[in-house]
Structure 1
Amino acid sequence: MAQADLADLDAFAAVARARSFRGAAAVRGVSPSSLSEAVRRLEGRLGVRLLNRTTRSVTPTEAGTRLLERLGPALGEVAAALDAVNSFRDSPTGTLRLNVPSIVARCVLPPIACAFLARHPGITLEVVAEDGFLDVLAAGFDAGVRYDERLEQDMIAVPIGPRVQRFVCGAAPAYLAARGAPQHPRDLLEHACIRHRFASGMALPWEFERDGEVVRISPKGPLVASAIDLELAAAEGGLGVITSFEEFLAPAFSRGTLVPVLADWWQSFSGPFLYYAGRDHLPAPLRAFVAFLRERARGGATSA
């Protein structure tokens, strides 16, 4: 097939895997309309519908499913063949697509990404920050970053960022002056609490730990949000008690706009991991990133 045909096939595969024109476009850095046009062009050339489209979903037809099953490995081989040229370069080129939690995008990845891209100027890093769990390969990403309780067992995991993190709890001085400071996690059931809701709709219980005792509670409060900046501003304004990653609340503790609450109950957990599918040939940008992380863990890489 001509090069244009190969591009249309690649576009179809991306949309079929993501089950969304918008989702595939976000990963690939193109417009949804360009992917839609590519799929229409391919369907016209083949004379068969490949995707069923509604306002709410995109699903492969039986013909589309059959094509995707055969096309995936073939496109992978084409990409691997082209990527093999990168081994002849002093520094690889290409695009590295990562899906990471918002905490990682905000507090963990910036110094790592800056140093890595300074080392490899031919690589473009594309990052999508979201807190839901998804099949990163099916969605078109090269790798993902998640915490150990969310890792798929058949993936290779490489430590990235701090190896220990904490959930911490705080409130504004004015709030504590008016309501008093809780002495035990269960006391929070009588307090106004600011809760975080994930994009999936889930609001996790608050978990505390001391001397091997774990306490889980589901407090109530005047605000439930999916935006940490809004939650933090509300807590600093005296609306209620907040719990989050230490990295999010530490600046407010330093400013004095929040003060620690139940500090002897703060729970520690292992830091995040980069994870990717084990396979014989990794794309050169991902291979370079994995090597960079391992070098950094040994103390051989410094920030740019």
Structure 2
Amino acid sequence: MMADLSDLAAFVAVARAGGFRDAARTVGSSASSLSEAVRRLETKLGVRLLNRTTRSVVPTEAGAHLLEKLGPALGEIETALDVVNGFRDRPAGTLRLNVPISAARLVLPRIVPPFLAAYPDINLEIIADDSFVDMLAAGCDAGIRYEERLEQDMVAIPIGPRQQRFAAAAAPSYLDRKGRPEHPRDLMSHACLRGRFASGALTEFEFERDGEIVKVEPKGPLIVRVGAATDLAVEAAVAGVGIIYLFEDWLRPHLDSGALEPVLEPWWLRFSGPFLYYPSGRYLPGPLRAFVDFIRSSS
């Protein structure tokens, strides 16, 4: 019993997107055509693959098992077809990157426009997600992570700034009211704006000076989802709600304008920049090879 490859691909797209409309936007099709494709596949296999409600679409147990096997298999098919790219004058196809929201905001804006200008036949899809996901299982070709989160069987290439800092800052009006901290532990008596990761863990404020590392978990009136709602915390800091701790580059426009004032700057923690990563020992699809070469030549 051979199922149509396009129907299988439609099922994978819908299952990953969690809905027909979102999947349609991702693959450039219509929700009705995807629905019909999944219906054909279920009829041919004789089993329901997706549970559909008015709010969501989730795989059944059978669908989840099929999705687990299909994702890598379809990836291998795309890779096999991409071999043809080697016979083209210019690489073509789709490149999917899984990146943290901070990288989408702070690293990729300087890279994506010139890359797309250099490779007009490549379609770039960015999945910005601060969850620690399996990049291949998510249907991506490569991703961006920081060194401490890289897996050992991955090839890692530096991308973006090679050194970054976390910065603490607050509106001058807040500091005039509450005082200016002189040591990281002083933050325990301040209103601090914190983030919560997808795992549920809250962000720490970590500082370093002359080899001394200080970690604090201050309290505050606002907690936001890391990445997705970080801009809300920034705006709250600008409005004088409290002290924010974030990538220096994210806060830089407000620091330069004076809307935010540096706090404890001699203690700001430095860390190495992010890496583009992808599995070792695998054939590189044309779009990914072009992106890797572009990053290497730009560094």
Correspondence for 1:122: 121
TM-score if structure 1 supplies the norm length?
A: 0.86
Correspondence for 2:203: 204
SS of the equivalent of 2:215 reads strand
Matching of residues 101-250 of structure 1 within 5 Å: 101-226=100-225, 227-250=229-252
| Superposition deviation, residue 145 in structure 1 | 0.9
Q: Does the 8 A contact of 1:27 with 1:128 survive in 2? A: no
Correspondence for 2:284: 282
Q: Does the 8 A contact of 1:21 with 1:36 survive in 2? A: no
| Superposition deviation, residue 58 in structure 1 | 2.9
Matching of residues 20-169 of structure 1 within 5 Å: 20-21=18-19, 28=27, 30=29, 34-51=33-50, 58-59=58-59, 61-62=61-62, 65=65, 69=69, 71=70, 74-169=73-168
Counterparts of 1:27 and 1:137, CA distance in 2: 17
Q: Does the 8 A contact of 2:75 with 2:139 survive in 1? A: no
Matching of residues 232-271 of structure 1 within 5 Å: 232-271=234-273
Structure 1 residues 29 and 148, CA gap change in structure 2 (3 angstroms):
farther
Counterparts of 1:79 and 1:6, CA distance in 2: 12
| Superposition deviation, residue 30 in structure 1 | 5.0
Give the number of aligned pairs: 294
Q: Does the 8 A contact of 1:24 with 1:139 survive in 2? A: no
Counterparts of 2:67 and 2:100, CA distance in 1: 33
Structure 1 residues 49 and 83, CA gap change in structure 2 (3 angstroms):
same
Q: Which stretch shows the higher mean deviation, 103-112 or 59-68?
A: 59-68
Counterparts of 1:61 and 1:207, CA distance in 2: 43
Q: Does the 8 A contact of 1:49 with 1:64 survive in 2? A: no
Letter in 2 for 1:90: D
Correspondence for 2:4: 5
Counterparts of 2:116 and 2:90, CA distance in 1: 11
- The percentage of aligned residue pairs carrying the same residue is 59
Structure 1 residues 73 and 188, CA gap change in structure 2 (3 angstroms):
closer
| Superposition deviation, residue 77 in structure 1 | 4.2
Correspondence for 1:292: 294
| Superposition deviation, residue 147 in structure 1 | 0.9
Structure 1 residues 8 and 206, CA gap change in structure 2 (3 angstroms):
same
| Superposition deviation, residue 67 in structure 1 | 8.2
User: Tell me, which stretches of 5 or more residues in structure 2 are unaligned?
Assistant: none
RMSD: 2.6
Counterparts of 1:241 and 1:39, CA distance in 2: 50
